[in-house]
Structures are given as C-alpha cells and as structure tokens.
Amino acid sequence: MLLVEFRSMGTPLPKIEPGADCTQCWGAGKPFGDGPTPKYITVLIAGVVKGPLWVSTDPELPNGSYFCKQQLSPCLWKITVGDWSCAVSTLHVGTTVSVQYPLAKLGYQHSTPDLCVSSGFNQNQDYIHHFVGGTHNISWGS
C-alpha cells in the first residue's frame, strides 16, 4: 500500500490549527461541529484496485493518507505528493473528493450534491478507468 503523507511517519497529527472559516461545514449547528475550520484535513483512501485500463506505466495505487492544506478558498483543501494530487471541496455545489494523476487519470473520484460529507465510495466503477473501487474518510485533528 502506498502511504502518502505530508508529515513524518510516527509524528502525531497536530491539534486543529484554525484556518479561514468554511461556514458551510463548521460553526454553530453545522454538520462538522461548532469548532473552527481546520487548516489541515486528512483524507484516507483505501481499497482502490487496478481497473481495466490500467497499464504498467501507471503510478502505484492511490491508497493511503493525504494530509491536505486549506487553500485560498476556505472550503477547499489540496496536496500534491509524488504522482498524486488530492483535493477536497465542500463548495456551494456539494462535496467532491478526488485523487488524480497528472495526465488526467482519476485514481479516486467521489462527488455528491450534499454538503459536508466526510465519507463515501469511489465512483470510478466501470470499464473506462485505470483505477476502480475503494472508499474515503475525511478527518481532522482534535
């Protein structure tokens, strides 16, 4: 399993470092709680396998933990490590989690019109993908 992290192995996750307010998901009565919007979130991708279009020049499976940093938009977190770029968006149109290889090959894609969703499944399930299956879970420090 490929483990992608923005921190050294064995280093505990930091306490929530407040970022800019993503008022759709964090705050009084919001789905992710009353606490501050975190500057960093962790996205765990698990169970992705090679799809029908996988070729030997494709990168390793995108399974692992991605420690994403909040971007200028307060409801968007990203990180690029090695071959993979991970992005989480909880913007006005719903929640999207994607892990992508630079040549526009999706390793993982979940998109829902529901805001502030912290888990789901890979919507890459058919014959046109290099990587299929798997789930994601989003968490942040305490």
Give 11 or 71, the one with higher predicted confidence: 71
pLDDT at residue 79 in the model: 94
Pairing of β 49-50 and β 131-132: antiparallel
The pTM (predicted TM-score) of the whole model is 0.84
pLDDT at residue 6 in the model: 38
What band does 16 get if pLDDT is binned at 50, 70 and 90? low
What band does 44 get if pLDDT is binned at 50, 70 and 90? very high
Q: What distances in angstroms separate CA 97 from CA 10, 14, 34, 103, one per listed residue?
A: 25, 22, 23, 18
pLDDT at residue 18 in the model: 83
Helix count and strand count (H, E) for the chain: 0, 10
pLDDT tens for 80-132 read: 988 899 999 998 789 999 999 876 678 899 999 999 999 999 998 777 788 99
The residues, any chain, with a CB within 8 Å of residue 56's CB and separated by 6 or more, are none
Q: How long, in residues, is the chain? A: 142
Q: Where are the domains of the chain?
A: 40-139
